[in-house]
Structure 1
Amino acid sequence: MSIEKAIGRLAPEIVEFKAGQVWLAGAGPGNAGQLTLDVVSALAQADAIVYDALVDPSILKAADGADLHFVGKRGGKPSTPQDDITALLIALAGRGRRVLRLKGGDPYVFGRGGEEAMALARAGIQFRILPGVTSAFGALASAGIPATMRGMNKAIILATGHAAGEPEDLDWAALARTGQPIVVYMGLKRVETIAAALISGGLAATTPAAVIAAATTEGETVLVSTLAAIAREAAASGVASPALIVVGEIVSMRAELGQFVKLVKSA
């Protein structure tokens, strides 16, 4: 049975993208297979697509002649100011365009989707949120690491590491005391600071830790180590962003499950 026919049967359930609307959508962690049907539909209907650096170029193949506006943002590199992005969304919608704001992962999980939604609401522009597979859960699944595991954890913490070591930083000691796994976004450059803070907060130096880079794409890299050694080994390996840091006993599951994930991917 073809994918096209299966999607075609679902077409009547797809919402019409109307002129002057902005849809804030999550493109998932990378691989086009992580897209939701709503996002595929939006790509096909959009007149203008405003997309980030974390959106894999292959995903844009689903667009049907839309104008593409790259507004990539990467730490440490030239980035489009957030105010300029918001102004662009409002201007395009004001011209009657069907505007798709496409972000890596999920727009409401460290994607500044809330800020953009507020700006659109204040400007009187109709918008819709299309959730995506957030990078944390997509990366964990791709790496063979369960987000939750009976007997190991009762919660999972999603945190941002971009301010690690700064006055506005998180209370890593408090997070360490929960004993629950932590997935850190935007923390690779500060992994040494984060690891030290977690150990100081009470986590054992031997706690399993991993770095997952370019999750779900052909360039995916998974480095498994301990909390004490993860910074040193990440630096030695040359692993680069976009990457997530995972800390907790759930990482140990990769040793048993990861081989089967690899077999399926290579089949």
Structure 2
Amino acid sequence: MAENPAYPVGLRLTGRKVVVLGGGQVAQRRLPTLIAAGADILLVSPEATPSVEAMADDGEITWERRPYADGDLADAWYALIATGDKEANARASAEAERNRVWCVRSDDADAATAWTPATGHSEGVTVAVLTTSARGRDPRHTAAIRDAVVEGLRDGTLVAPHHRTRTPGVALVGGGPGDPDLITVRGRRLLAEADVVIADRLGPRDLLAELPPHVEVIDAAKIPYGRFMAQEAINNALIEHAKQGKSVVRLKGGDPYVFGRGMEELQALAEAGIPCTVVPGISSSISVPGAAGIPVTHRGVAHEFTVVSGHVAPDDERSLVDWPSLAKLTGTLVILMGVDKIGKIAETLVAHGKSADTPVALIQEGTTAAQRRVDATLATVAETVRTEDVKPPAVIVIGEVVKVGPSPSA
């Protein structure tokens, strides 16, 4: 007769006693989920891994440093048996059976009364995958199924329609530096669920091609501005579509709050009573240098890095940057939106004490197939930009870290 399949169920363990026997790698993997479930956890084990010991030190679990003893499972709701002592495991399993405590055994699934599924999470949904019987169990196969489902939910390739009315609103999503794979999984999921996407020119354009046909895609650079300033027109477009009951994603390059005017848009939405979610993105100030082989910090070379907007020149009265102070810093200087002003910037830094030989790297179209790195010094960078025809968008890195990695021609 075929073995009956396991009956799947979700245990609500908040405030309920859970006993874990053994403080090794199995416990280290399982304990965080039990802690997140709010269980009152008793760990019984003579020893524990450093990570498990840290959980006890932080008060997340109670640790009794001794072997298992009969009676340890009294009043427990759930038990995880994971010691290296098979005889102790068998005695504990028998106690669980007598006391009707659901029990998982890491050494013998057939002797257990419960199995731990391969689990994953995505925005309030828990995915749990179980094989149908103990015999022939393949944990790698169940984990692979779990991973495929969770990844599909996260990146939007597996879309489950919402049968309850979604709350309309706006999500300000940082799309990262350009490579579509560098958007966050939450950002990608929100894109897949959007009705309207208002995209920046510097956002990851390849992601737009993956959107369902019903999604309205609006190029922010082509919104009719009329009598409005460009940013005000974008704000109005966000509000207009959200008020129509639509789910709107404002897709930006990099991070919404790093020279992305994200706060201006959030403030406008708040004034209009529109709910807004902010999804951080990978900033080009760190990721683009990294993609070009340049660490913005490095032991013994740079203990700090400063990110500066270069969209106005140092001698422009609108500039808020203290360039003389920046010239005195010994760390890394990262300049965004500064290609056409780099000559004046370099001149100002040198005039206030920065060595003219300070290395400079310009990374154009960073993280994309068109990425290009051009190296110079403060003394030569203005001429290099002209002769090499460096165009925006480009990230400029100034400092000794430019020379840390392998040569760009290597």
TM normalised by structure 2 equals 0.58
- Whether the 8 Å CA contact 1:71–1:80 is kept in 2: the answer is no
Q: 1:54 to 1:80 in 2, by over 3 A?
A: farther
1:172 aligns with 2:323: yes
In structure 2, the residue corresponding to 1:211 is in which secondary structure? strand
Q: Shift of residue 64 of structure 1?
A: 2.1
Root-mean-square deviation (CA), in Å? 2.6
Write the distance in 2 (CA, Å) between the matches of 1:121 and 1:3: 42
1:247 aligns with 2:391: no
Q: Shift of residue 189 of structure 1?
A: 0.4
2:234 to 77, 85, 94: 85
1:116 aligns with 2:270: no
Correspondence for 1:95: 244
Write the distance in 2 (CA, Å) between the matches of 1:3 and 1:33: 20
In structure 2, the residue corresponding to 1:209 is in which secondary structure? strand
1:31 aligns with 2:182: no
Correspondence for 1:204: 355
Correspondence for 2:385: 234
Correspondence for 2:364: 213
- Whether the 8 Å CA contact 2:153–2:189 is kept in 1: the answer is no
Listed as ranges, the gaps of 5+ residues in structure 2 are 1-140, 156-161, 223-227
Q: Shift of residue 72 of structure 1?
A: 2.5
Amino acid at match of 1:205: A
Correspondence for 1:76: none
Correspondence for 1:63: 211
Correspondence for 1:6: 147
- Whether the 8 Å CA contact 1:43–1:62 is kept in 2: the answer is no
- Whether the 8 Å CA contact 2:180–2:205 is kept in 1: the answer is no
Correspondence for 1:50: 198
Correspondence for 1:158: 307
Q: Deviations over 1:182-202 (max 9, x none)?
A: 111111001100000111121
Q: 1:80 to 1:46 in 2, by over 3 A?
A: farther
In structure 2, the residue corresponding to 1:254 is in which secondary structure? coil
* Bigger Cα Rg: 2
Aligned length: 254
TM normalised by structure 1 equals 0.88
Q: Deviations over 1:58-85 (max 9, x none)?
A: 1212322310010129xxxxx9700000
Q: 1:197 to 1:10 in 2, by over 3 A?
A: same
Correspondence for 1:263: none
Write the distance in 2 (CA, Å) between the matches of 1:38 and 1:18: 17
Which is bigger in relative contact order (C-alpha 8 A, separation at least 6)?
A: 1
Q: 1:7 to 1:80 in 2, by over 3 A?
A: farther
- Whether the 8 Å CA contact 2:364–2:394 is kept in 1: the answer is yes
In structure 1, the residue corresponding to 2:212 is in which secondary structure? coil
Write the distance in 2 (CA, Å) between the matches of 1:177 and 1:201: 7
In structure 1, the residue corresponding to 2:397 is in which secondary structure? strand
- Whether the 8 Å CA contact 1:40–1:62 is kept in 2: the answer is no
